[in-house]
Structure 1
Amino acid sequence: MAKPTILTCALTGAGDTAGKSEHVPVTPQDIADDAIAAARAGASVVHIHVRDPETTQGSRETPLYEEVVRLIDASDVDPVINLTAGMGGDLTLDPSSPRESLGRVDGTDLVSGLERLKHVEAIRPEICTLDCGTLNFGDGSQIYVGTPDMVREGAARIKELGVKPELELFDTGNLWFANVLQQEGLLAAPPMYQLCMGIPYGAPADPGLLNAMVNMVPEGTEWTSFAIGRNQLPWVAQSVLLGGHARVGLEDNLYLRKGVKATNAQLTAEAVKIIDSLGKQVATPDEAREILGIESTRPQGAGAAA
């Protein structure tokens, strides 16, 4: 029997998208409601950022994460919980005086790799993300900072916590370094890679490049790929056809089709249809846990009717 496809729904992200679509969840209740709806639509995993309810911008506040997880745990579904640990890596510079502007320009939120894991330490989710490199993140003067030393330190701490890291790989250099982390014994088996395509200026959403990156993934590694914007739903098929898992959600794309804004549940349902049309089955949350070697850390009774 073919291994089922793990389908992740990335619910809200940290981008400035709340004003672009009324469907982007902002409050802990909104985010939890979307997680529950996505799970009912077929998502195996829900990937969670939180936002400041007042400003709608991304947040690192542990109590916000705790409330989202509490609400999901009180529901009648039990998706695998995947918390971002990428917040706290943003450095924005003034290009005319970069040295003088270090830490002084709006948009900078730069803390240590261990500080980015405070909510993970408090909650102990089943999965958390680990961004594997430094990247020019979009146009302008913002950089995402993840040095090899910072990433190694984060990987070691995540392993100590017994959490599965999902390695976020934005280009081939990130993938190279993920393979080094495997060789150094910093990743519990099976490792979990995510190939992130189309984010300026990482790896472009090019099928040939995806194929080349998949060829770099070591045997025994579980991998997912996604693409942003209008490429999101077609990329579900692209990823599955190459033997990977899939991801959709409003973090990466706001539209169901041209001119029609989507909800997370709608994007999930469309992805389920695509995967089914390819003769594959979407993994249940428990099947996803088995594939990834995860022992559920959820409270006794989680997923039962409240």
Structure 2
Amino acid sequence: MISDVFITCAVTGGGFTVRSPLVPITPEEIANSAIEAARAGAAVVHIHVRNPETKRGSRDTALYREVVERIRDSDVDPVINLTAGMGGDLVLGGANAPLPPDPAGTDMAGALERLVHVEELRPEICTLDFGTMNWGAGGDYILVNTAATLHAMAARVKKLGIRPELEVFDAGQLVMVNDLIEEGLIDDPPLIQLCMGIRYGAPDDLTTLMALVHRLPPNAIFSAFSIGRKQLPYVALAPLVGANVRVGLEDNVYLSRGRLATNAELVQRAVEILERIGVRVMSPEEVREKLALKVHA
């Protein structure tokens, strides 16, 4: 068990659908929601952006720029964590005719193209999704992150002096994590996010979680979360296995059964849970020191 943890708020996500009217869509809404989450106790805000018209996830650097500038100009100073997961969306044409891909859902970009917004805005953290996997209940969607792409992205992020958060969705992806650490592409301490409960990824039961924990690099700093109704129980579980905490509307839209949440309310509930079990919530400044982050702006 660890007695000091930091909370990450995953503010909006980049999925195709929006499951709650409280999910922020525009850059102003995303920034305001991140600011409110920081005031509630989130030390880190994990940012995707959405096309304001279609509401779908976007890689538009201008949208990221507006969100980041609004947060940096606010009266709070959370650690900004930008996704680099967009640009790996592949929707095949069907079981009997997989090619050409379906253009309506496919968004494939090169390794450096996926980092354009990160290179320009220089957050302290950006995420790298550490594997290719089927996603969702059936269908032809694949989240694509090849070994070559991850090597190229990790090398570029290291050169930029940005801390990568390594998103792990299943046990085999930790093999890739260890390979890149051994190759010197990931600086110490490695920062890892265990993403549980995503369909066709690692289930969110305790046995699976502990199997992943036992395969982590020995000096890793890590967080663990589950999507949906297990999100808040995982707030209490995470410190017991040595993990930090993540909540937010990217992963779960409910505060309780039938009660839609805001990001700030999810963070507030996480703070309450942690304090009631004797775990102290860390500040952004403490997280910067713990992770040896470089402030670029």
* Common topology (TM > 0.5): yes
Match of 2:175 in 1: 176
Give the letter aligned to residue 15 of structure 1.
Answer: G
Match of 2:249 in 1: 250
Match of 1:121 in 2: 119
The equivalent position to 1:110 in structure 2, one of 108, 111, 114, is 108
Cα offsets for 1:114-152 (capped at 9, x unmatched): 211010011010000001110101121100011111101
1:66 aligns with 2:65: yes
DSSP-derived class of the 2:150 partner = helix
Whole-angstrom CA distance in 1 between matches of 2:191 and 2:99: 39
1:26 aligns with 2:29: no
Match of 1:4 in 2: 4
Q: Which runs of 5+ in 1 are unaligned?
A: 299-306
Query: Counterparts of 1:76-91 in structure 2 under 5 Å?
Result: 76-91=75-90
Whole-angstrom CA distance in 2 between matches of 1:123 and 1:47: 14
Length, aligned pairs only: 295
Match of 1:304 in 2: none
Match of 1:51 in 2: 50
Give the letter aligned to residue 291 of structure 1.
Answer: K
DSSP-derived class of the 1:216 partner = coil
Query: Counterparts of 1:86-235 in structure 2 under 5 Å?
Result: 86-102=85-101, 104-139=102-137, 140-235=139-234
Whole-angstrom CA distance in 1 between matches of 2:10 and 2:296: 20
Match of 1:302 in 2: none
Q: Which runs of 5+ in 2 are unaligned?
A: none
Whole-angstrom CA distance in 2 between matches of 1:3 and 1:254: 27
Task: Give the drift of 1:266.
Answer: 0.2
Give the letter aligned to residue 241 of structure 1.
Answer: L
Decide whether the 8 Å contact of 2:122 with 2:296 is kept in 1. yes
Decide whether the 8 Å contact of 1:193 with 1:222 is kept in 2. yes
DSSP-derived class of the 1:172 partner = coil
Decide whether the 8 Å contact of 2:162 with 2:294 is kept in 1. no
Whole-angstrom CA distance in 2 between matches of 1:97 and 1:249: 38
DSSP-derived class of the 1:296 partner = coil
Task: Give the drift of 1:95.
Answer: 2.2
Task: Give the drift of 1:105.
Answer: 3.6
Decide whether the 8 Å contact of 2:38 with 2:45 is kept in 1. yes
Decide whether the 8 Å contact of 2:3 with 2:278 is kept in 1. no
Cα offsets for 1:208-263 (capped at 9, x unmatched): 11011101111111000110000000011111110110100000000000000000
Whole-angstrom CA distance in 1 between matches of 2:290 and 2:67: 25
DSSP-derived class of the 2:266 partner = helix
Match of 1:13 in 2: 13
Decide whether the 8 Å contact of 2:204 with 2:226 is kept in 1. yes
Task: Give the drift of 1:17.
Answer: 4.0
Cα offsets for 1:10-44 (capped at 9, x unmatched): 000012443x3111000010000001100000001
DSSP-derived class of the 2:223 partner = strand
DSSP-derived class of the 2:145 partner = coil
Task: Give the drift of 1:295.
Answer: 2.5
Whole-angstrom CA distance in 2 between matches of 1:97 and 1:209: 34
Match of 1:301 in 2: none
Task: Give the drift of 1:3.
Answer: 5.8
Task: Give the drift of 1:291.
Answer: 1.0
Task: Give the drift of 1:53.
Answer: 0.7
Decide whether the 8 Å contact of 1:129 with 1:167 is kept in 2. yes
Task: Give the drift of 1:99.
Answer: 4.3
Whole-angstrom CA distance in 2 between matches of 1:17 and 1:34: 19
DSSP-derived class of the 2:214 partner = helix
Whole-angstrom CA distance in 2 between matches of 1:106 and 1:78: 38
Q: Indicate the RMSD between aligned Cα atoms, in angstroms.
A: 1.2
Whole-angstrom CA distance in 2 between matches of 1:98 and 1:281: 54
- Residue identity (%): 54
